[in-house]
């Protein structure tokens, strides 16, 4: 079973939920697809066994063949090429490797060369298989790395995917193919706003989902009213707890010190399993 853990905004406790769930069940593989800011490994401290570079093809421009016609820049919808009357510049960090500029160039001034966009790390933290991606500093295209991380999914395991926050392309790529998605939110107006966006994405993707309310005793009841109105199950509530916060600040997943929460996460897993098998 593949369970993705997502949230409409950052800082809701999404990674904490993913890690604590991973530590509460058996036969787990956890993938960190939040490749701009991977944090799962900070909590699980895996022993890294393999590091693999991720490369894409980007244009290589031979300026001696270029007549500065500007057709490549006109074609590129990501503004990765700039052409003036006597200069051409490529912003490789913006390139999405579509190859279109090469096709439209009338003088064959454009070829392609490999460009490193990130790395995928694989390792083990006790019995948990940990895989995480990391985007190269300054690179803006995260989706390729997410795809590379997900190529390593082992369906014989209980797979947990920590998604990037928000509702952009890398988030959709991370959630794609999941059997179930957990949306982590907070009972605040911002939490509700971002939850609504995340819900509309999941409805569009037709992936079953439920909500975990973090810091459930702070804020107001509007998230609950919304979930009730939309018939969205609240899977778990995690109240604000000084002990949880302290453990978090020391990088310790709270199920390791609070056994009752391990039970709660196990129950959560069983509930999800039942919903998926329905």
Judged by CB under 6 A, the residue of 97, 122, 125, 216 near ligand SF4 is: 97
For residue 40, give the nearest of 7, 9, 5 by alpha carbon: 5
Q: Does 117 bind ligand SF4 (CB under 6 A)?
A: no
Q: Which of 2, 83, 128, 141 binds ligand SF4 (CB under 6 A)?
A: 83
Q: If you search the block for the tokens 């016609």, which residue do you land on?
A: 69
Q: CB 55 → ligand SF4: shortest distance, Å?
A: 14
Among 80, 128, 199, 235, binds ligand SF4 (CB under 6 A): 80
Told to check if 276 binds ligand SF4 by CB under 6 A, we report: no
Query: Tokens 């990130």 belong to which residue?
Result: 118
Q: How far is the CB of 169 from ligand SF4 (least distance, A)?
A: 14
Sketch the per residue contact string, 8 through 47, with ligand SF4: x for CB under 6 A, - otherwise. ----------------------------------------
CA angle 143, 125, 44 (to 5 degrees): 65
For ligand SF4, give the closer residue by CB, 80 or 161. Answer: 80
d(CA 149, CA 121): 9
What radius of gyration, in Å, describes the C-alpha atoms of the chain? 22
* Cβ proximity to ligand SF4, 71 vs 147, nearer residue: 71
Dihedral angle over CA of 264, 266, 271, 276, nearest 10: 150
Are 31 and 111 spatial neighbours (Cβ–Cβ below 8 Å)? Answer: no
Q: Are 17 and 193 in contact (CB under 8 A)?
A: no
40 vs 110, beta carbon nearer ligand SF4: 110
- Burial of 11 by CB count in 10 Å (0-12 exposed, 13-18 middle, 19+ buried)? exposed
Q: Binding mask 47-76 vs ligand SF4 (x if CB under 6 A, - otherwise)? A: ------------x-x----xxxxxxx--xx
Contact (CB, 8 A) for 29 and 1:
no
Both tokens assigned to 44: 């699980």
Tokens of 90: 């490529």
Q: How far apart are CB 73 and ligand SF4 at their closest, in Å?
A: 7
Using CB under 6 A as the binding rule, whether residue 144 contacts ligand SF4 is answered as no
Q: What residue ranges bind ligand SF4 (CB under 6 A)? A: 59, 61, 66-72, 75-76, 78, 80-81, 83, 88, 95-101, 105, 107, 109-110
């Amino acid at each position: 079973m593949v369970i993705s853990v997502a949230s409409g905004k950052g800082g809701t406790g999404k990674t904490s939920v993913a890690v604590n769930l991973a530590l509460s069940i058996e036969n787990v593989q956890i993938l960190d697809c939040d490749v701009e800011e991977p944090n799962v490994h900070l909590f699980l401290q895996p022993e890294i066994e393999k590091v693999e570079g991720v490369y894409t093809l980007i244009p290589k421009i031979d300026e001696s063949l270029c007549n500065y016609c500007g057709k490549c820049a006109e074609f590129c919808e990501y503004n990765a090429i700039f052409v003036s009357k006597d200069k051409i510049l490529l912003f490789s960090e913006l390139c999405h490797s579509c190859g279109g500029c090469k096709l439209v160039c009338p003088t064959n001034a454009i070829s392609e060369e490999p460009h490193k966009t990130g790395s995928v790390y694989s390792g083990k933290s006790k019995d948990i298989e940990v895989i995480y991606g990391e985007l190269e500093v300054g690179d803006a295209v995260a989706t390729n790395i997410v795809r590379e991380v997900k190529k390593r999914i082992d369906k014989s395991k209980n797979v947990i995917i920590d998604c990037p926050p928000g509702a952009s392309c890398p988030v959709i790529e991370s959630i794609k193919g999941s059997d179930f998605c957990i949306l982590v939110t907070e009972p605040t107006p911002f939490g509700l706003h971002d939850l609504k966006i995340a819900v509309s994405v999941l409805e569009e993707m037709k992936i079953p989902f439920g909500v975990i309310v973090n810091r459930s005793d702070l804020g107001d009841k509007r998230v609950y009213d919304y979930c009730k109105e939309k018939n969205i199950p609240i899977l778990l509530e995690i109240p604000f707890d000084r002990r949880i916060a302290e453990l978090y600040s020391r990088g310790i997943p709270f199920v390791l010190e609070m056994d009752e929460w391990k039970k709660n996460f196990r129950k959560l897993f069983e509930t999800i399993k039942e919903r998926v098998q329905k």
